[in-house]
Structure 1
């Protein structure tokens, strides 16, 4: 840590890409010297917290003190391993992060209220216990503009298959052909599914202000929710797919052939 700030200064580095906390010990000799250095970090792209026990998110936890320093200058947070103090996670869910990724391996069910208060542009909930009915209500809140206005992408994965009828009830969802592949951009990056995951259903929903979103239901209990850009001319979150290109090419080809026939 003693060399981090001078190196960042010499190389004109404006941010740290990843800051990983496997464990934080208050009695570590480096703890007292590390805290002042963390306070000088200008920006952290992503904070990854790996060590979770029942103690570390308590008010007396040294890690909690560290997170209070680095989270205000962070763009994204990844929380993994066992979470046994869900109420402390809500502080992260309500923060103004670009991306939040949570992996809950305990018995705690992710409730609708916690999903409703989230404020991240990108939210990933991996292997999280949730009710399909709650996810359906969240989409209805989005339709009424009563939840996270910053949301661009939501990914939820649970154990077992997703009940499609319960998920889409009352949303007036319009099915979209799976054969017409669409590639979405999330925060400027193409969003890829994990290995072995396949989208089996895809539906578009539109709210009163014409804002559109796509719900994709896949294998292994995955549900993805993409919010399209407000303007139809803004393609930052949507990449033209091969099939749309082929439709344009087909039109050009037909025009060319008709022109040749006239020339003949």
Structure 2
């Protein structure tokens, strides 16, 4: 029979070698005991994983850490609203938490876990399902997030709340569904100062040219959706006539194959040699600091602002990139 050891009664110097030999899951479990234990964990053994992935599911949260190679997730923790499922693997049972076994809410649990890790390593947060607990307080503690993914099975209200809280501190917002039923509400979101908006959804009937014209992100990428050559020409003409003057610097989309020479004459597009490579610089760091491309067509409007449009045919679709220079 094991005898409980009063670890918290040890002096600081004695605790240092103890924490040094703890496994990451033990450090985190210890930090959940109390605020004092949490503070000791931060001081003596703050974890520094290579990346952290947080996922909000319908009945639980899970957070994964990688401390070695990029593809090797070494530690996953779970927080369940009610009783955790009967897990046969003892290692998984020791990593499943509920309010009943630790006395913390989901939000408090997440804050404690992130508090003892270098949460600046958090690479992405994906939200899915319909969470049965409130984690908004914990989400509000995140001050920097490289990528926020709204999955296609995510509850609309949860998705909108996550976007409201995290969009201002997120480098890339990825929408695999459009959670806004009302177009006015959706366009209000599109007008916010996003950095990088990635949309991959077959709900394209709910995203039209008018939505694109009001989008204010620095970079917009549309995948899994289709636009026509007519849509592209209308968009370019609106920009050329200064009717569309958002923060947009780079637009990527795919459209039906058409003759690139059929761009509207009003644009006075000038072709650039395909054998010459050019580089585009974003005004702020995004997924990459620069983009390289060859050829394309240059457009210049009356106020001197320029844009370059390139075309590439893949799998019977035309992939179009438009770079807007300051």
Out of 291, 297, 303, the position equivalent to 1:191 is 291
Q: Which has the higher relative contact order, 1 or 2, with Cα contacts under 8 A spaced 6 or more apart?
A: 1
Give the secondary structure class of the aligned counterpart of 2:222: strand
Normalising to structure 1: TM-score of the pair? 0.67
Question: For 1:40 and 1:8, how far apart are their aligned partners in 2?
Answer: 9
Question: For 1:154 and 1:45, how far apart are their aligned partners in 2?
Answer: 19
Asked if 1:227 is matched to 2:324, the reply is yes
User: Match of 2:191?
Assistant: 94
Shift of 1:112: 2.1
User: Match of 1:75?
Assistant: 171
Question: For 1:172 and 1:206, how far apart are their aligned partners in 2?
Answer: 8
Question: For 2:292 and 2:238, how far apart are their aligned partners in 1?
Answer: 26
Question: For 2:246 and 2:158, how far apart are their aligned partners in 1?
Answer: 33
Give the secondary structure class of the aligned counterpart of 2:251: strand
User: Match of 2:146?
Assistant: 45
User: Match of 1:218?
Assistant: 312
Question: For 2:171 and 2:245, how far apart are their aligned partners in 1?
Answer: 17
User: Match of 1:105?
Assistant: 202
Asked if 1:25 is matched to 2:125, the reply is no
Question: For 1:148 and 1:52, how far apart are their aligned partners in 2?
Answer: 34
Residues 139-179 of structure 1: per-residue CA shift (max 9 Å, x gap):
12222322143111011113x41342443442100010001
Out of 224, 230, 237, the position equivalent to 1:140 is 237
Normalising to structure 2: TM-score of the pair? 0.56
Query: Larger Rg: 1 or 2?
Result: 2
Task: Quickly say closer, same or farther: Cα 1:47–1:86, change in 2 above 3 A.
Answer: farther
Task: Quickly say closer, same or farther: Cα 1:67–1:110, change in 2 above 3 A.
Answer: closer
Question: For 1:24 and 1:44, how far apart are their aligned partners in 2?
Answer: 20
Question: For 1:133 and 1:163, how far apart are their aligned partners in 2?
Answer: 12
Residues 217-248 of structure 1: per-residue CA shift (max 9 Å, x gap):
111311110122x3xxxxxxxxxxxxxxxxxx
Shift of 1:8: 5.4
Task: Quickly say closer, same or farther: Cα 1:207–1:123, change in 2 above 3 A.
Answer: same
Task: Quickly say closer, same or farther: Cα 1:68–1:82, change in 2 above 3 A.
Answer: closer
User: Match of 2:159?
Assistant: 63
User: Does the Cα contact within 8 Å between 1:117 and 1:147 map onto a contact in 2?
Assistant: yes
Residues 82-138 of structure 1: per-residue CA shift (max 9 Å, x gap):
879483643432221011011132461742211111000101111322232222122
User: Does the Cα contact within 8 Å between 2:193 and 2:216 map onto a contact in 1?
Assistant: yes
User: Does the Cα contact within 8 Å between 1:173 and 1:203 map onto a contact in 2?
Assistant: yes
Question: For 1:68 and 1:84, how far apart are their aligned partners in 2?
Answer: 12
